[in-house]
Amino acid sequence: MIALRPVLLLLLLAFALGARAADPLGRLFFTPEQREALERKRPQAAPPTTGITVNGLVQRSDGKATVWINGTAHPAPPSTPGKGIAVQPDSSTVIVTTPSQKIRVKVGETIAPAPTAGMSLGHQDSP
């Protein structure tokens, strides 16, 4: 035990000197000018899309489906004609119906026509 004392004292001294020689942390936050410079370097937000993007599709075994369009989930009844969204059974194709046309879109694709007031995403008009 007595032989370990010098070794322990040397280790303790080495740790103490190492801690003293370490650089201080300095300021945690930047100055207002530095923060503004960092904000200018940050990439700007992408402009909003004017089209319709099909982000995802989940189709359950009972036939019910959910389609994510422009980041929003919409219930989609399978192959329902009319306005809105229809999902082909056993397929990754989504049919988006606009007032002027029906467009087949696969997950990940974006179509150019913007949604209009006459288009209902995921909800059918009731008589």
pLDDT in tens, 13-33: 887 776 565 556 666 677 888
Helices (H), the chain: 4-21, 32-41
Most trustworthy range by pLDDT among 36-40, 90-94, 114-118: 36-40
> pTM for the whole thing?
0.47
pLDDT at res. 16: 75
Strand order in the sheet with 102-106: 84-87, 93-97, 102-106
End-to-end Cα, the chain, rounded Å: 93
Beta strands in 1-127 (DSSP E): 52-59, 65-69, 72-76, 84-87, 93-97, 102-106, 110-111
**Residue 16 CA to its chain's centroid (Å):** 47
pLDDT at res. 125: 38
Give 2's Cβ-side CA count (13 Å radius): 0
Convert the pLDDT of each residue in 36-84 to its tens digit.
Answer: 888 888 887 766 667 788 888 888 888 788 888 888 888 876 555 555 6
